């Protein structure tokens, strides 16, 4: 097989990235995804600009390229530089009780954005989506939404700047009017092109994209943004959500709003290796925020795919393949100390450090993270959930 | 052309009856419609039963076959006979400011049903539907909904038993949850089969059928029917709405509700003749509730299709063709005196009475009706509209 054939074969490898499926026979090719989706690469100059504008060091997810793509982030920053604030919108489909580390990534990053830019945030819990896609009952979807809200709140959001809502609670009024306005602008053929629905899919699926679209428009939140129809919106999310917002951006100017800007992350890989997102259906593919220190240690030791060599001798000689090594990948998400990370990569890559040592370091980092989360979550009361989810004005949200 | 060919030709004549289009090259064949839709004929024994159960003479629309078809009306009456009440649900798509007489038919009949059975009533104003189908703005659709509510209230509904709502105001909460439950049960292929949508139709159309379906379920109105999930629903409507409720009846048992029962009317014909519904786009095809006595007289004289003969001599000899005569048809809707109607039909059919005389009688009947409506509507204040549309319990709705 010559080089060209190889390349062709590679290109033919299935790489599916949609809001409901992320799969690939090899590593996800994020460059290809940027090309396919038509978004922009988040380059160093943009990271530097964020640092300059916010006066604080960029989040580890930003400086290490976890958030690697964007749409119109420059426009948001141009406006911000002129003194024009914006709001953040992110969300979660509450399909499972326990979140894993991959679920925390967008929320940890959004918390940083909220603090750095001092802007309000709306968080959508799409319990209606999960009720429809996962065939959960309305009640179970709502229960999961509330449980997930506790984990989200535990990430440290500012209640004076944050509105969390579940679709089953909140759809109606101005939000529903915007859903209708969006739905009028999108043909069935268009959603088939974007989302790949078939005639055998139920109409709930066809009806849903406007529900995820309209939090991008300030008028969907009259208790927050009344009279601020031209407020811009920035959406931090994983790149599999891009199809929703391509549709949203297409519609926005036709109904009188700015296109929402996006800042998009790669996927947090499964313990077994970097071929997609972690799977909620396989508990051994992920570290959960409910895992004990022992469970974390065991999962890492047993399942984390190693780039180390088969024997200590060989490893000392060849070093680890950092490209495929999951412990190093995980550390690059959660070990904040740049110098230490560089040290590990250098030593491990040269064979001076063994997989066991790296895994041990990772277990410590993740245990600290998870235990910190567990303490924070245990402190989230039902009253706090009610407070975040109350439909209320936020008088100091731009301070 | 022999008889068989003629019959075949006749059957090939396009007869389209959908929620958005009613057209036919000849008279609508209602028998064929009953067969096609699979509903039941409302026969004399059922009319007698309604009379017996309510202890009052059946409405003129019932005894003259204007409401001519039904689904499961017997079940509603069986339950009613055992002391089990039900609720009524009807609606209107507010696409125009002024209603014509055809628009009043379901409301006049629903008012009779409410009085005769002493049951609560919900009236849906589908401003969202009209916003999507007629490309009206949200604001204009809502304005029309409120204007139409005034005409509806002028029909004499009991505010202690009636809840009028606009979708833009009311969609949300329990109503939205039921929309999602319905949408989960209906595939895109299914709605295409029922409603004939195409891929070029916008997804607002695909999303709408559940909105019209869910008022059939008592839990959509927790302020009225909390804890009464097994309350039955009877829907008076024109037969073009049957597709929505075929879908609703299909879904109902799968999500734990009774199938709604239906009582369905034929269409009030245009002045120009009985080939479909009146058209809102041709003001000369209909008598509007805003028309003056003079306008009514002129429209009837100028446009009402006559079954009379071309000359007085011929008319005296042959008599009128009552089958195609619009003045007689209109009188059969609105002249309440059975004896007088029979007299007119006999005399006019035999040539003893001329078209001009019949038209004069009709003008008097309609002018009285319209002027009575105008007086009633002028008395409807904004406060009354607010009262009917307030989301509130109706403690005496079953008395």
The arithmetic mean of pLDDT across residues B308-326, rounded, is 95
Query: Measuring CA to CA, which residue among A39, A148, A134 is closest to residue A380?
Result: A148
The phi and psi torsions of B90 (rounded to 5 degrees) equal -140, 180
Distance from CA of A71 to the nearest CA of B (A): 25
Residues 6+ apart with CB under 8 A from A242: A37, A39, A262, A264
Predicted pLDDT of residue A1? 47
Angle at B99 between CA B67 and CA B148, to 5 degrees: 100
Q: For chain A, what are the domain ranges?
A: 21-271, 293-378
Residue B8 pLDDT greater than 60, yes or no: no
Question: Position of tokens 């939000």?
Answer: A175
Going from the C-alpha of A379 to that of each of A48, A145, A150, the distances in angstroms are 36, 18, 9
**Nearest residue on chain A to B133, alpha-carbon basis:** A184
Spatial contact of A8 and A23, defined as CB atoms under 8 Å apart: no
The arithmetic mean of pLDDT across residues B344-366, rounded, is 97
Going from the C-alpha of A30 to that of each of A14, A71, A82, A105, A109, the distances in angstroms are 14, 15, 33, 17, 19
Q: Which of B171, B189, B199 sits opposite A172 (nearest CB)?
A: B171
Residue B1 pLDDT greater than 50, yes or no: no
Each residue's pLDDT tens digit, A324-352: 999 999 999 999 999 999 999 999 999 99
Q: H helices of B292-337, where?
A: 293-303, 312-318, 326-334
Residue B107 pLDDT greater than 50, yes or no: yes
Residue B9 pLDDT greater than 60, yes or no: no
Q: What is the pTM of this model?
A: 0.94
Q: How far apart are alpha carbons A260 and A87 in whole angstroms?
A: 10
Question: Position of tokens 């159960």?
Answer: B53
Q: pLDDT exceeding 90 applies to what percent of chain B?
A: 87
ipTM: 0.93
Angle at B130 between CA B129 and CA B133, to 5 degrees: 85
Q: Which residues of B touch A183 (CB under 8 A)?
A: 132, 202-204, 207
Q: How far apart are alpha carbons A204 and B184 in whole angstroms?
A: 5
Supply the DSSP string of B346-373, one letter for each residue: HHHHHTSS-HHHHHHHHHHHHHHHHHHH
Each residue's pLDDT tens digit, B366-384: 999 999 999 999 999 999 9
A227 touches chain B (CB under 8 A): no
CATH number of B21-271: 3.40.50.620
Burial of B347: CB neighbours in 10 Å, binned 0-12, 13-18, 19+: middle
Query: Measuring CA to CA, which residue among B134, B214, B144, B137 is closest to residue B173?
Result: B214
Q: How far apart are alpha carbons A179 and B232 in whole angstroms?
A: 31
Predicted pLDDT of residue A23? 76
Q: Which residues of A touch B183 (CB under 8 A)?
A: 132, 202-204, 207
Distance from CA of A248 to the nearest CA of B (A): 14
The arithmetic mean of pLDDT across residues B68-76, rounded, is 98
Residues in chain A where the model's pLDDT stays below 70:
1-14, 275-281
Query: Measuring CA to CA, which residue among B395, B392, B399 is closest to residue B222?
Result: B392
Go through A42-60 and write b for each residue having 16 or more CB atoms within 10 A of its CB, e for each that does not.
beeebbebbbeebeeebbb
Predicted pLDDT of residue A5? 59
Rg of chain A over Cα atoms, rounded to whole angstroms, equals: 22
Spatial contact of A222 and A173, defined as CB atoms under 8 Å apart: yes
Contact A184 B131 (CB under 8 A): yes
Query: Measuring CA to CA, which residue among B215, B128, B124 is closest to residue B175?
Result: B215
State the fold for domain B293-378: Tyrosyl-Transfer RNA Synthetase (1.10.240)
């Amino acid at each position: 097989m010559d080089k060209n054939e190889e390349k062709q074969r590679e290109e033919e490898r299935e790489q599916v990235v949609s809001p409901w499926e992320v799969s690939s026979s090899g590593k996800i090719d994020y460059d290809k995804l940027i090309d396919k989706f038509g978004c922009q690469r988040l380059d160093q100059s943009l990271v530097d600009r964020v640092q300059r504008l916010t006066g604080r060091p960029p989040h580890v997810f930003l400086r290490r390229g976890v958030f690697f793509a964007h749409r119109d982030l420059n426009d948001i920053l141009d406006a911000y530089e002129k003194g024009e604030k914006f709001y953040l919108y992110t969300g979660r489909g509450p399909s499972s009780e326990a979140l894993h580390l991959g679920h925390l990534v967008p929320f940890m990053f959004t918390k940083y954005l909220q603090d750095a830019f001092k802007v309000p945030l709306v968080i959508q819990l799409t319990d209606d989506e999960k009720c429809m896609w996962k065939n959960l009952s309305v009640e179970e979807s709502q229960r999961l939404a509330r449980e997930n809200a506790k984990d989200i709140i535990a990430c440290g959001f500012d209640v004076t700047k944050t509105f969390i809502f579940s679709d089953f609670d909140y759809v109606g009024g101005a939000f529903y009017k915007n859903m209708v306005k969006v739905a009028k602008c999108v043909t069935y053929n268009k959603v088939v092109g974007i989302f790949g629905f078939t005639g055998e899919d139920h109409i709930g699926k066809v009806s849903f994209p406007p529900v995820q679209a309209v939090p991008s428009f300030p008028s969907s939140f009259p208790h927050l943004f009344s009279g601020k129809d031209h407020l811009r919106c920035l959406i931090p999310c994983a790149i599999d959500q891009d199809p929703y917002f391509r549709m949203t951006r297409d519609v926005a100017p036709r109904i009188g709003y700015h296109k929402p800007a996006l800042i998009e992350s790669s996927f947090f890989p499964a313990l077994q290796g970097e071929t997609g997102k972690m799977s909620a259906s396989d508990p051994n593919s992920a570290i959960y925020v409910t895992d004990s220190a022992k469970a974390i240690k065991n999962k890492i030791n047993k399942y984390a795919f190693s780039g180390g060599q088969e024997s200590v001798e060989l490893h000392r000689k060849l070093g680890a393949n950092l490209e495929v090594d999951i412990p190093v990948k995980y550390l690059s998400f959660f070990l904040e100390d740049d110098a230490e990370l560089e040290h590990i990569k250098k030593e491990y890559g040269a064979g001076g450090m063994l997989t066991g040592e790296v895994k041990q370091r990772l277990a410590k980092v993740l245990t600290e993270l998870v235990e910190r989360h567990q303490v924070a979550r245990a402190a989230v009361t039902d009253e706090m959930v009610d407070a975040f989810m109350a439909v209320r004005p936020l008088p100091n949200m731009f301070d």
